[in-house]
Amino acid sequence: MTDQTKTISMPSLPEKTTYKKRYHRDANYEASPITLNLFSVYQICDLACASDHTVRQHTQICHEITYIVSGEGVFYRNGKAYDVYPNMVFLVNDQDVHSIKSSKDSPLRFMCLGFGFHKDHPDFPKYAHICSFFDHLQTPLIMDKNNLFNLFTLALSEVSNTDALAEEMLEAYVRQIIIQTFRDFTSVNKQKINLVDINDTNPLIYEIAHYIDSNLTHIKKLSDIANAFDYSYAYLSRIFSQTMGVPIRDYYAQRRLEKAADMLTADIPISAVSEKLQFADVSSFCKAFKAHYNVTPKKYQQMMTEKVASAAKDKTK
C-alpha cells in the first residue's frame, strides 16, 4: 500500500525500474476505503508478477497481509530484507516502510489485503489484542497453516459480486483472513504431531516433537535436542520444518510459552516459571511472553485467577 495522503496515483517509476504484471486483479479503495463495520478495506488484490517486477519503496497507510501463492522474491520492511516463498504470509503495518522485488527466474504471485480497524466499534475490544499484536510484531514472516489462499479467493469473488449480501460476505472473509493470520503467527498446529500417519511415515519427526513436549523444563539450548538424537541441529531443523511447517526453533519457543501459560494459570510464581523453563532470567521470560501473548506474565496470571474465581462463583449460583 502506498502513502496516498497527497495523491492517489502511484508515483512514476524510474526508467530502469521494472513494473510489469502478468495478471493483476486489484480492487483498490485507497481514495475511499470500504467501511465494513469493524474494518476499513483499502485494497484487496491478486498479482502475478512479470520477471523482475518491483514495487517501489513506500510508506504504509494501513495494515497489509500478503499471502505468497507461488514464485520467489524479497519483501522489505523498515530496511530489512526477507526472502519469501510459496505459502508464506507477510505482514506490514501502518507507517512501515515497505517494498517488493520479484525473482527474475521465478516471478512472484501474491494476494494482499490492506485494512484498518475501527477502534471505536463496539466489537473492537474483542480484536484489540490482534491489533496490538500486529502493531508490535518484530518478525513479519511465517508459513501459513490456515488456508489463506482459499479465503483470499473467496474475498476477491465478493468484490465483483453485485447482490445485496456481497458486502456481508466480504466482511466475513476479511475477518477470517485477519484472524487466521493472527493464528499463523501465534500458534503451532498441534494436531499434526498427534496424527498417526506422521509417526508412520516419519517417526523421527514425531520423536523430535515428543521429546520437546516432554522436556520443556530440561532443554537449556537447541543443541540439546540435536544431541539427544545424535544428528546435527541444521539437519533436524530442516526435515522437521519440511513436515511440520515450522522450524524446530519456532516449535520449541511456542511450546515453551504455552507451558509457561499453563504454569502461570496454576498460580506458579513468575520467577519459578522462568527458572523451570530455562530462561536466562525473569526479564527475558517476561519479554518473550509479552511478545507472544501481548500481555505481561503478571497481567496474564491476574486474568486467569479472575477467570477461575468468576467460573467458581457462577458454579455456586
**CATH number, domain 191-307:** 1.10.10.60
Spatial separation of the C-alpha atoms in residues 311 and 313, rounded to whole Å = 5
Spatial separation of the C-alpha atoms in residues 77 and 99, rounded to whole Å = 7
Integer CA distances (angstroms), 63 to 44, 90, 167, in order: 12, 11, 20
**21-186 and 191-307: same fold?**
no
Q: Is the pTM of this model over 0.85?
A: no
Asked if 293 contacts 258 with a C-beta cutoff of 8 angstroms, the reply is: no
Torsion of CA 123, 124, 125, 131, to 10 degrees: 150
Q: What is the pLDDT of residues 32-89, one digit of tens each?
A: 788 888 999 999 999 888 877 788 898 999 999 999 988 889 999 999 999 888 888 9
Please state at what angle helix 233-244 crosses helix 248-265, rounded to 10 degrees.
Answer: 80
- 198: pLDDT strictly greater than 80: no
Question: What is the percentage of the chain residues whose pLDDT exceeds 90?
Answer: 39
Strand pairing partners for 77? 80, 98
- 313: pLDDT strictly greater than 90: no
pLDDT confidence of residue 9: 29
Confidence of residue 216 (pLDDT cuts 50, 70, 90): very high
Confidence of residue 152 (pLDDT cuts 50, 70, 90): very high
Residues 6+ apart with CB under 8 A from 49: 20, 21, 22, 71, 73, 102, 107, 108, 109, 110
- Secondary structure percentages of the chain, helix, strand, coil, to 5: 45, 20, 35
Name the architecture of domain 21-186.
Answer: Sandwich (2.60)
Average pLDDT taken over every residue of the chain:
82
Give domain limits for the chain.
21-186, 191-307
- 114: pLDDT strictly greater than 90: yes
pLDDT confidence of residue 53: 77
Q: Which three cell numbers stand for residue 18?
A: 521494472
Q: What is the pLDDT of residues 245-279, one digit of tens each?
A: 788 998 899 889 989 988 998 899 999 999 999 99
